[in-house]
Amino acid sequence: MTEPTFQQTSASVSPPRAAIPGGKGSRGGQGGQNGGYPGGLRARILTVLPILAIAGAIFLASTFLHWRAAATAPSGAEPMPVQAETVVWQDSFRVAERFAGQLEPRQRTALAFERPGLITRVTVEEGDRVAAGDVIARLDTQLLDAALERTEAQIARITADLELARLTAARQRDLADQGHSSQQRYDEARLAVSSLQAQLAELEAAARSTRIDLDKSVLTAPFDGMVAARYLDDGAVLNAGTAVIDLLETGLAHVRIGLSSSAARALAGGAEPRLSVGGRPLAARLISIRPDIDPATRTRDALFEAVLPSMETPGEASGTGGFDRVAFGEIADLILMRREEKRGIWLPVTALKEGGKGVWTVFVVDPRAETPVVAVEAVEILHTDGNRVYVRGTIPDNMAVIPEGLQRVTPGQQVRLLPAQRSVATHTGQPGTDR
């Protein structure tokens, strides 16, 4: 049996190829499922694509809006209409200085008896109005009445004794002249008259003293006024000098106000003062200015005398029973007008715009120009008065200042002036007036 022989053909079998990771021939991994791209690269592509889409949308929208604005925009911009005030410089301005003080009664007295005793009657209550001479209170006078009666009886007795002594002295003189009586007896009768006259004078003085005590047992008002406080009632026993009531003078009052040294000099030089209490004006005149400076407040007190008509006439007509009258102790306001010799102009506060490095500026235009252009000028504030300021600066005369709405314009912008213009030439600083 012969063994089979194998012939080697020319076609040789090639060895198998190694599988490429991630290729089609690879069963393991994700390369075959993701189209052959690495996993990290695909993640980056997925992140960048939304961002590019949003940026493209924004670009297209912006381009469209610019195109639409360009299509609808007018061929030429109109000048901004603004209101302006013509500037005229002045050499001085009036300053209204305000000072506060207190309303005081011209006279205030704690009424008291000069002698001790028992009060039998107090005739007034707090808030009562009294006139000069009205009875306020009375003391018990029984002891004084008895003492006066005793003194008057003694006066009557001494008067009778004195009459007898005069008759006796006359007889002794006649007898002495005739030589029927000694000189001694005549001298005794004559001097007895003198002794009785002295006793009579003493008793009459005692009677006057008792009558004075009786008069002082009645407490009366020394001036027209109002009872501010009542301290004692009927039946109270008091010592001399114990206050019974507190009486305030009405009709006239004092206003005491502390002034600066410059204001005091201006007031002494004839500056016009205006006083008010609670918004109500007071007719007042300057009485005096204290010559020294208060070391605590560094002010000089000025004293005014004011008329208080509302306290002279209670307010029954207004239905308040007089309780609407001015009260002592209220704050009094003094407005003192004085002139400052400084060149400048008055402007509204709204015309100011803060510039660089703390410099205030204003926007100005030339009203004479065919097409005014906004310019910037620097100013310095000299005085403020409510919603207006007095300034000086580089503003040329006859220029127009834009008083408000500065946020609507910018330097170099063309504007159109509205026809209604007003001058800001003068302003006194006095409240409620521009001239």
Q: What is the DSSP string of 339-378?
A: EE---BEEEEGGG-EE-GGG-EEEEEE-TTSSS-B-EEEE
CA angle 263, 267, 273 (to 5 degrees): 100
The class of domain 249-315+325-340 in CATH terms is: mainly beta
Q: Give per-residue pLDDT as tens, 229-283.
A: 999 999 999 999 999 999 999 878 899 999 998 889 888 888 888 888 888 888 8
In sequence order, the 6+-apart residues with CB closer than 8 A to the CB of 350 are 387, 403, 404, 406
- Residue identified by tokens 């040329």 is 396
DSSP 163-190: HHHHHHHHHHHHHHHHTSS-HHHHHHHH
Mean pLDDT of 94-114: 91
Query: Which of the two residues, 156 and 340, has the higher pLDDT score?
Result: 156
Q: Give per-residue pLDDT as tens, 18-53.
A: 343 444 444 444 444 444 445 567 777 777 777 777
Q: Assign residue 362 a region: left if phi > 0, alpha if psi is -120 to 50, beta otherwise?
A: beta
Q: What is the pTM of this model?
A: 0.55
Tokens standing for 143?
Answer: 């002891």
Question: How many residues belong to the chain?
Answer: 435
Rounded CA-CA distance 243/254 in Å is 23
DSSP 217-253: TEEE-SSSEEEEEE---TT-EE-TT-EEEEEEE-SEE
Rounded CA-CA distance 363/246 in Å is 64
Burial per residue of 246-270, b for 16 or more beta-carbon CB atoms within 10 angstroms, e otherwise: bbbbbbbbbbebbbeeebbebbeee
Mean pLDDT of 127-140: 94
Mean pLDDT of 411-423: 73
pLDDT for res 64: 54
Rounded to 5 degrees, what are φ and ψ at 44? -65, -40
Quick check: 299 and 357 in contact, CB under 8 A? no
Q: Which among 311, 310, 382, 300 is positioned nearest to 345, based on CA atoms?
A: 382
Quick check: 406 and 395 in contact, CB under 8 A? no
Q: In the beta sheet, which residues pair with residue 388?
A: 348, 385
Q: Which helix (H) or strand (E) holds 113?
A: none
Rounded CA-CA distance 122/234 in Å is 6
Query: Is the pLDDT assigned to residue 119 strictly greater than 90?
Result: yes
- In the chain, domain spans: 40-73, 82-92+342-423, 117-244, 249-315+325-340
Tokens standing for 80?
Answer: 């901004």
Q: Which among 318, 387, 371, 379 is positioned nearest to 343, based on CA atoms?
A: 379
Query: Is the pLDDT assigned to residue 368 strictly greater than 50?
Result: yes
In sequence order, the 6+-apart residues with CB closer than 8 A to the CB of 188 are 172
- Chain centroid to CA 172: how far? 90
Q: Give per-residue pLDDT as tens, 204-235.
A: 999 999 999 999 999 999 999 999 999 999 99
- Residue identified by tokens 């410089």 is 89
Residue 366 Cα distances to 86, 194, 344, 372, 414, angstroms: 9, 110, 19, 6, 11
Mean pLDDT of 306-316: 57
Quick check: 284 and 302 in contact, CB under 8 A? no
Rounded CA-CA distance 114/129 in Å is 23
Quick check: 280 and 350 in contact, CB under 8 A? no
Rounded CA-CA distance 218/136 in Å is 8
In sequence order, the 6+-apart residues with CB closer than 8 A to the CB of 145 are 214
The class of domain 82-92+342-423 in CATH terms is: mainly beta
pLDDT for res 49: 75
Tell the burial category of 183 from Cβ atoms under 10 Å away from its Cβ (0-12, 13-18, 19+). Answer: exposed
Pairing between strand 93-105 and 331-340?
A: antiparallel
pLDDT category at 109 given cuts 50, 70, 90 is very high
Q: In the beta sheet, which residues pair with residue 399?
A: none
